[in-house]
Amino acid sequence: MVKEILIAQKQDLDKKLKEHYVERTTNLKKLEAPLIKVIIGPRRAGKSFFALHFLNKKGNFGYVNFDDEKLVGVKDYDIIVEAMNTVYKNPEFVLFDEIQNLPKWELFLNRLHRRNLNLIVTGSNSKLLSKELATHLTGRYFLITIFPFSFKEYLEIEKKELTSHQIKEKLYNYIIYGGYPEPLIRKMDYKDYLTILFNSIVYKDIVKRYKIRFPQRIENLAFYLMSNIANEYSYNNLSKMTKINSVHTTKKYFGYLEEAFIFFSLSKFSYKVKEQITSNKKIYCIDNGFIHANAFKSSPDFGRLYENAVAIELKRRELDNDIRIYYWKNPQQEEVDFVIKQGLKVKQLIQVCFNVNDLKTKDREIRALIKAGKELKCNNLLIITEDIEKEEKAEWFGDKATIRFIPLWKWLLE
């Protein structure tokens, strides 16, 4: 039975490798490390394709997709390894897809790694980052995160030079429909695709796995969060708004949604760790397309969509570099969208302002930037806009600053 499953998977694999592939910006050298390569990220973001196209250039590799209940039900894992060796003729490299579905997967990987098998595994649950990796694979794994397409990758589909006008048109679609590869490459309906994907993640990766008795509650929480992207939240407030009786349950459900890579949070910046922990956080979604497909909104809110797109890109850069991302807010409720910290220093402060032509809005954004810049000793101040590019001298009660304005499309391609 196992051999037949792997043969069917290999046939699907051969078809996949013939499909159009967009090269990801993640450094392929990470996959050369002589450790277990753990690729994590949202479902359907392209983790498998990324690994498969690397392995296809290497030559002989084996592939097992554990997103199959029949395989997960196999008790003796050696049967799976033996079948894979038969189907793929003792491969040098092995890719295990959606490994988190396999009970005690970390012990299985450890055993194979000790046999000097070159392993790449993917997973759609960030729990792969937690105790299993830390406890059983300490020092033996290399972590790689794959998100849906960045704007740079999104443009690569065209395979041609684009004018700035064409890039702006592409940005409009990217901001609304997001960067999930499959509907883009196969010309599928985004809303239908992302609605089905969202429901699949909630019910398959969360409700079923954690045996949630009242799935409507976590679904309500997810839809509420989706409709309040870029807003602050507290667990108490979320419990009240979604009518989940227990704050503990709300916190647990929220954690599941983050583990499944639907949402991520930013903490309020503070040099005091306790204040960071106790302050409200801000919520963002892993892809703008989910917001368009699932939020309770009748028309796009470009201010929120712009800010979410910037948050995603910064999160991607945070994972690839030694930076940390926060937001800033003072007691007067003045706010800076993003604080970029590197080491002990704040390197940059960023505001996202879709309509910078509104003078009241512009003054508010600049005032908060200048105040945050003074407090955090940072003079690298940036406002990301729809289409304005310039430098401007600004002053607030004697505090002077130079602020750079840049269009979102240009910043995303920097």
Q: What's the DSSP call for residue 351? A: E
Measured over the CA atoms of residue 294, residue 297, residue 302 and residue 305, the dihedral's sign is negative
pLDDT value at position 116? 87
Tell how far CA 70 is from the center of its chain.
29
* Tens of pLDDT, residue by residue, the chain (414 residues): 899 999 999 999 988 888 888 989 887 777 888 889 999 999 999 999 999 999 998 888 999 999 998 898 899 999 999 999 999 999 989 999 999 889 889 889 989 998 888 999 999 888 766 667 777 777 788 889 999 999 999 999 887 889 999 999 999 999 999 999 999 988 899 999 999 999 999 998 899 989 999 999 999 999 999 999 999 999 999 999 999 989 999 999 999 999 999 999 999 999 988 888 899 999 999 999 999 898 766 678 999 999 999 999 999 999 888 899 999 999 999 999 999 999 999 999 999 999 898 889 999 999 999 999 999 999 999 999 999 999 999 988 888 999 999 999 999 998
pLDDT value at position 298? 66
pLDDT value at position 135? 75
Residue 48 burial (C-beta neighbours within 10 Å; 0-12, 13-18, 19+): buried
CB-based contacts of 126-134 (< 8 A; 24+ apart in sequence): 126/40, 126/258, 126/259, 126/260, 126/261, 127/100, 127/259, 128/38, 128/40, 128/99, 128/100, 129/40, 132/105, 132/106, 133/38, 133/106
Tell me the whole-structure pTM to 2 decimals. 0.94
Give bridge partners of residue 345 from the DSSP assignment.
Answer: 342
What is the per-residue DSSP string for 170-231? HHHHHHHH---HHHHHTT--HHHHHHHHHHHIIIIIIITTTT-S-HHHHHHHHHHHHTTTT-
3-state secondary structure of 117: coil
Measured over the CA atoms of residue 151, residue 125, residue 319 and residue 17, the dihedral's sign is negative
Domains of the chain from N-terminus onward = 2-145 (3.40.50.300), 151-303 (1.10.10), 321-412 (no CATH)
Query: Distance (Å, rounded) from C-alpha 304 to C-alpha 230?
Result: 6
Dihedral of the CA atoms 316, 321, 326, 327 (nearest 10)? Answer: -70
225, 241 in Cβ contact below 8 A?
Answer: no
3-state secondary structure of 388: coil
